[in-house]
Amino acid sequence: MSDRVRNIAILGSTGSIGRSTLDVIAASNQQLRVVGLTANSRLAQLCEQARQFQPTWIVAANPDRASAFNWSAKPAHAELLLGSAGIEALVARPEVDIVVAAIVGSAGLSGTWAALEAGKTVALANKETLVMAGPQVMQLAREHGAKILPVDSEHSAVFQALEAGRRRDVKRIILTASGGPFRRHTVAQLAQVSVAEALAHPTWDMGPKITVDSATMMNKALEIIEARWLFDLEPDQIEVVVHPQSIVHSFVEFRDGSVLAQLSPPDMKLPIQYALTYPERWDCPSPKLDLATAMSLDFEPPDLDRFPAIGLGHEVARVGGTAGAVLNAANEAAVAGFLGGQLSFTEIVPACRSVLDNHQFEASPTLEKLIELDNWARQEVTRWVCT
Ligand code: NDP
Please choose from 90, 103, 212, 218 the residue to mutate so as to test ligand 1's pocket, defined by most ligand atoms within 8 A of CB: 103
C-beta of 44 in contact with ligand 1 (< 6 A): no
Environment class of 341 (CB within 10 Å of its CB; exposed 0-12, middle 13-18, buried 19+): exposed
Condensed to tens digits (0 to 9), the pLDDT of residues 289-306 reads: 999 998 999 999 999 999
Residues 96 and 23 in one domain: yes
Residues 12 and 104 in one domain: yes
pLDDT-derived band at 311, boundaries 50, 70, 90: very high
Residues 142 and 12 in one domain: yes
Residues 207 and 125 in one domain: no
- Nearest Cα residue to atom 7 of ligand 1: 103
Q: Is residue 2 over pLDDT 70?
A: no
Condensed to tens digits (0 to 9), the pLDDT of residues 266-288 reads: 999 999 999 999 999 999 999 99
CA separation for the pair 74, 47 (Å, rounded): 5
C-beta of 336 in contact with ligand 1 (< 6 A): no
Rounded average pLDDT over 182-207 = 94
Cα of 15 vs centre of ligand 1, distance in Å, is 5
Domain span at residue 179? 167-263+301-386
Quote the number of domains for the chain.
2
C-beta of 25 in contact with ligand 1 (< 6 A): no
Residues 30 and 139 in one domain: yes
Condensed to tens digits (0 to 9), the pLDDT of residues 133-167 reads: 999 999 999 999 999 999 999 999 999 999 999 99
Residue 380 lies in a domain: yes
Cα of 207 vs centre of ligand 1, distance in Å, is 6
Residues 52 and 175 in one domain: no
Alpha carbon 165 to its chain's center: 26
Residue 295 lies in a domain: no
CA distances (Å), origin 278, targets 120, 155, 261, 272, 288:
14, 14, 18, 10, 19
Q: Is residue 1 over pLDDT 60?
A: no
Last residue of a domain, one of 120, 150, 180: 150
Condensed to tens digits (0 to 9), the pLDDT of residues 335-361 reads: 999 999 999 999 999 999 999 999 999
Q: Is residue 78 over pLDDT 90?
A: yes
Mark out the alpha helices in the chain (DSSP H runs): 16-26, 43-53, 63-68, 83-92, 109-117, 127-144, 153-162, 187-190, 195-198, 208-216, 218-230, 269-277, 309-319, 323-339, 348-357, 367-386
Residue 379 lies in a domain: yes
Is the model more confident about 201 or about 150? 150
Please choose from 20, 40, 204, 218 the residue to mutate so as to test ligand 1's pocket, defined by most ligand atoms within 8 A of CB: 40
Residues 145 and 173 in one domain: no
Residues 335 and 307 in one domain: yes
Residues 231 and 108 in one domain: no
Residue 291 lies in a domain: no
CA separation for the pair 7, 234 (Å, rounded): 35
pLDDT (0 to 100) of residue 299: 98
Residues 117 and 24 in one domain: yes
Residues 312 and 380 in one domain: yes
C-beta of 18 in contact with ligand 1 (< 6 A): yes
Residue 281 lies in a domain: no
Last residue of a domain, one of 150, 179, 197: 150
Last residue of a domain, one of 150, 183, 206: 150
Roughly how many angstroms between the first and final C-alpha of the chain, as a whole number? 58
pLDDT (0 to 100) of residue 223: 98
Q: Using N-to-C axis directions, what is the helix angle for 323-339 and 208-216, rounded to 10°?
A: 110
Cα of 259 vs centre of ligand 1, distance in Å, is 32
C-beta of 60 in contact with ligand 1 (< 6 A): no
Q: Which amino acid belongs to residue 266? A: P
CB of 130 closer than 8 Å to CB of 232: no
Residue 67 lies in a domain: yes
Q: What is the largest CA-CA distance in the chain?
A: 62
Residue 344 lies in a domain: yes
Q: Is residue 3 over pLDDT 80?
A: no
Residues 184 and 326 in one domain: yes
Residue 330 lies in a domain: yes
Identify the CATH number of the domain in which residue 324 sits: 1.10.1740.10
Report the b/e string of 218-245 with b at 16+ CB within 10 A: bbbbbbbbbbbbbbebebebbbbbbbbb
Condensed to tens digits (0 to 9), the pLDDT of residues 222-231 reads: 999 999 999 9
C-beta of 272 in contact with ligand 1 (< 6 A): no
Cα of 12 vs centre of ligand 1, distance in Å, is 6
> pTM of the prediction?
0.97
Average pLDDT, the chain: 97
Cα of 102 vs centre of ligand 1, distance in Å, is 5
CA separation for the pair 224, 353 (Å, rounded): 17
Written as one string, the DSSP assignment of 45-88 is HHHHHHHHH--SEEEES-HHHHHHS-GGGS-TTSEEEEHHHHHH
Identify the CATH number of the domain in which residue 30 sits: 3.40.50.720
